[in-house]
Amino acid sequence: MSSKSHKIAILDDYQNVALKCADWSPIQKHAEITVFTDTLHSEDALASRLSPFDIICTMRERTKFPASLLKRLPKLKLLTTTGMRNLSIDIRSANAQGVTVAGTTGKGNPTLEHTWALILGVMRHVAEEDRNTKRGGVWQTFVPTGLKGRTMGLIGLGKLGGETAKYHSRSPTFEFGSFEFG
């Protein structure tokens, strides 16, 4: 039995980076930390694995925390998530049973940045050109498509769509011809 006052589970750390991204030494003095690199989808398996922990740190939205699972984790007092929004957690149910749910902010907007990386990757055929080069072929087997004068279309202006639209309108870099949304 550990003499430490808390048991912390870090979930879904498939890249094994959680303990490298911050200095955990002050926390390790008071808590036993267990990192799980796999994702369990069975509620029974999750309840069994997580029942000893009073703090759970979710790395992503892979593990769902519906009310039914939360009720099976009576020791749980704190549930953290990377990001300020995690639709995989039933926050009302967690709060109703006395579990604090907390999120973290990051630097920039990684989802928006990834969106733009994908847009540029598609337009410039980055994946195809990379694959061709790695197979011993030549670079630039496609004529890349530029963004200048193109119409950008967005379906929905929720959080990500709205941020994409703002970036589009503030950035003269790509010189889009027009912007459509629906």
Task: Sketch out the chain's domains with CATH numbers.
Answer: 6-104 (3.40.50.720), 110-181 (3.40.50.720)
Predicted confidence at residue 172, as pLDDT, reads: 65
Q: How many residues does the chain have?
A: 182
Q: Which residue has the tokens 């941020």?
A: 163
Sole residue written with tokens 């694995």:
49
Say which residue, 154 or 25, is predicted with more confidence: 25
Q: What is the pTM of this model?
A: 0.71
Least confident of 9-18, 33-42, 111-120: 111-120
Q: How many other CB atoms are found less than 10 A from the CB of residue 62?
A: 14
The answer on pLDDT for 148 being more than 70 is yes
Backbone φ and ψ of 121, nearest 5°: -60, -40
Query: Does 73 have pLDDT greater than 80?
Result: yes
Q: For the chain, how big is the Rg over CA atoms in Å?
A: 22
DSSP letter, residue 83: B
Q: Say if residue 1's pLDDT is above 60.
A: no
Task: Find residue 180's DSSP bridge partners.
Answer: 153
Q: Higher-confidence residue: 174 or 42?
A: 42
- State the average pLDDT for the chain: 88
Among residues 181, 123, 176, 119, the alpha carbon closest in space to that of 156 is found at: 181
